Amino acid sequence: MNGLPRSILVLGPLAVLTTVLHGGAQQLPAQRADGTVKTGVNAVLVDVVVRNKHGMPVRDLHPSEVEIVEDGVTQTIDSFTPIFEAEVPPTTTPALGPVGASASTSAIAADANAATLSAAKLTPITALVFDRLSPEGRQLAVKGARAYVSERDPLPSMMGVFGVDLAFTPYAPFTKDRETLEKALDRIETRASATFGIDREQKARIESNAATTQQQADAAGAGGGGANQGSSGAAAQLAQMEANMMAGFEALERDEQGYASVNGLFAIIGAMRQLPGRKSLVLFSEGVAIPPAVHRLFLGVIDAANRANVSIYTMDAAGLRTESEQAKIRDQVNQAGKRGLTSYASSPRRDTPGNEPLTKALELNEDVLRHDPHTGLGELAQGTGGLIFESTNNLRSGFDRVESDLRNYYLIGYTPTNSTYDGTFRKIEVKVKRPGLTVAGRKGYFAVRDTGGAPVNTWEAPGLAAFDRRPVPNAFPYRVGALQFPSSDKPGRVPVVIDLKAAPLSFPTTEDQKGFKSDFAVVVRFVDAQNKVVRKLSQHYEMSAALDKLDVAKNSEVIFYREPELPPGVYTMETIVYDAPTAKASVRYATVEVAKVDPAQLRVSSLVIIKRGEKVGADEPKTGPLFVNDVLLYPNLGEDISKASTEVGFFFTVYSGAAQAKPESVLELNQNGKPLAQVPLQLGAADASGQIRQVGRLPLTDIPAGTYELRVIVKQGAEQVFRSAKLHVVE
């Protein structure tokens, strides 16, 4: 991890990336029924595929036959653009009949905005993504993809080929060159997927042994077996321990597989987001592992895809699954439920709220169900307006449907009647009045301001909405800083540090009154001069512990740290800490200027006042701008500095320019704009990268209490750069 590698929350919070489904609001000119354009309105754009009972696209829908419902309220359609094959949408203004019972007849322009017209003219884009596959599944998937690529001349879509395994591998960029694509498919076919260390047959034997020894121990106990009972019980306990270890490893294995899959999909969708129009992603998989630890992040993939106008089509590369395989899944569900419900029935607390055995039973059922490939693959497809192709050994036929959907859809825009940015999830339903038709499209969006195309997480949405509260919320204190370390390889790096004391947050007790929990989030976003969000960062903190640890939790400190890279420009950095149980929040604003970096010129990082240093173990990573040798430096973000400490440390980095002269430095202490002292500062030697990481100490003994400016001036040849930081010295 770069920079600050640890959140200092004594109980070790569980950071969970949590996202919820579907869609997003996009900024575009909303064209009203009278033909006028309302600029600055937050309009919602929905791409919809409509098919008849034979599966053929319906091309003659009239706006009067379509109804958009948001959270149960019928909306007025602002734009209705049919996009079919190579046809350019008509520029005439078709009549718009009544949309709802109270709607009046009006007119609407089909070419609502330039974006929709350009989308119609674009070459369709399709990403072929091969998830972790067995040898048989890989052959089936590659066979289907190769058949499609080889028989189409020319290729109707720009296509890219990617692999998702323990690492993300781009095999072919987006191209229409058949040879490039075929070579990529050849590489995938011959490359084995990475596997984890668990042996399935051995796991089954261990579980069977645990069950058998437990039955023997139970029988010995029922028969009053004396010494035999003790030996049987010990054997059962050891066998169960081995089974538990295997189960624990399997859970970690599923988590790692799930993280690898969703992170790869995030990367591909993020790149496709930059392209206008409807896009498709074809995922070849034998089932996406989405255990509870990964499920929230998995939902974020759906949200990201909808915001990027990417429909996901999933192809079950296991082919025609046998009845025995389906029965195996059903048996696992039944066994899990039986084990959990047996515990529930024997629990003396089964009538109390928060019953652990019953909860465990439900969790076991859900966990096993998520092994079923239909669960994850179906959820991805349904949530993004795509389809799942399953129970077939001919995956080639699915490509025809993908291509057809890319070329045959309606782009529908509306301005929500509810214009409040409240962070809630707004459900979208597209209804078609003509009978016998099926509709596929995105399912909704979060009511927050433009996110720059990034997905919105469930725990982010209330915080993002709080940015628009008036007056600006300020429920509890925290400190924030944006530093700059403009190295040659990362010229726009802006480390963000937030220092939060946990005491003002809420720690409600659990239902059983034996513990407490906490749930809060930190969200940071950078907004450019055009009021557009260019970067969003966040972290969700959840923790729970026994009540005797409550004081420790309240006295803990949370350090949020990220290292975003920004292009040159001036930004408003907006930060918020949101406490979910109380819905209270605090917002901070700061201006951040990122200069254009010339590697040939002298550069100096931010001047950092050191709050404390922490020595890092030999086996821990030591990369990042706040490391000096094996010491990690924590910045002071404006806190008072006591004279009792006798001195205060400071730190900065010098990036030498092309000049041959050795950099020189001077340290100044100013108050109210007047210099109080100035001393030469001997700079250290440059490291292997040419950087000089300078640590110094300022004595406080002779400095009266007050507010000061500490300034460092660095010269190299004719160039001179200075940086400064505030000091608040108290008795």
Q: Is the peptide bond before 471 cis (omega within 30 degrees of 0)?
A: yes
Q: Is the distance from CB of 535 to CB of 564 less than 8 angstroms?
A: yes
Q: In terms of DSSP bridges, do strands 515-527 and 569-579 run parallel, antiparallel, or are they unpaired?
A: antiparallel
pLDDT classification of 592: cutoffs 50, 70, 90: very high
Mean pLDDT across 93-101: 29
Q: Is the distance from CB of 76 to CB of 103 less than 8 angstroms?
A: yes
**Lowest-pLDDT range, 15-19, 473-477, 504-508, 621-625?**
15-19
Superfamily name with CATH number, domain 599-731: Immunoglobulins (2.60.40.10)
- Is the predicted pLDDT of residue 65 greater than 80, yes or no? yes
Mean pLDDT across 75-81: 92
- Is the predicted pLDDT of residue 537 greater than 50, yes or no? yes
Looking at per-residue pLDDT, the higher value among 245 and 669 belongs to: 669
- Per cent of the chain over pLDDT 90 is 37
Q: What is the DSSP string of 155-206?
A: -SSEEEEEEESSSEEEEEEEE--HHHHHHHHHHHHHSPPP--S--HHHHHHH
Q: Is the peptide bond before 154 cis (omega within 30 degrees of 0)?
A: yes
pLDDT classification of 258: cutoffs 50, 70, 90: low
pLDDT of residue 88: 37
Looking at per-residue pLDDT, the higher value among 325 and 173 belongs to: 173
Reading phi first (left if > 0) and then psi (alpha if -120 to 50, else beta), residue 225 is in alpha
Asked, colleague to colleague, whether 125-196+254-321+374-397 and 599-731 share their fold, the answer is no
In the chain, where are the structural domains located?
A: 1-18+472-597, 26-122+407-446, 125-196+254-321+374-397, 599-731
pLDDT of residue 586: 96
**Lowest-pLDDT range, 84-88, 510-514, 704-708?**
84-88
Give 298-350 pLDDT, tens digit per residue.
777 887 888 788 899 998 888 765 444 545 544 544 554 444 434 434 443 33
Could you give the CA distance from residue 453 to residue 465 in angstroms, rounded to a whole number? Answer: 16
- Taking residue 474's Cβ as centre, other Cβ atoms within 10 Å add up to 11
Mean pLDDT across 39-58: 80
On average, the pLDDT of the chain sits at 76
- Is the predicted pLDDT of residue 132 greater than 60, yes or no? yes
pLDDT of residue 283: 92
- Is the predicted pLDDT of residue 390 greater than 70, yes or no? yes
Could you give the CA distance from residue 295 to residue 368 in angstroms, rounded to a whole number? Answer: 13
Could you give the CA distance from residue 597 to residue 657 in angstroms, rounded to a whole number? Answer: 11
pTM of the model: 0.68
- The CATH class, in words, for 125-196+254-321+374-397 is alpha beta
Tell me: domain 1-18+472-597, CATH 2.60.40.2360, correct? yes
- Is the predicted pLDDT of residue 361 greater than 60, yes or no? no
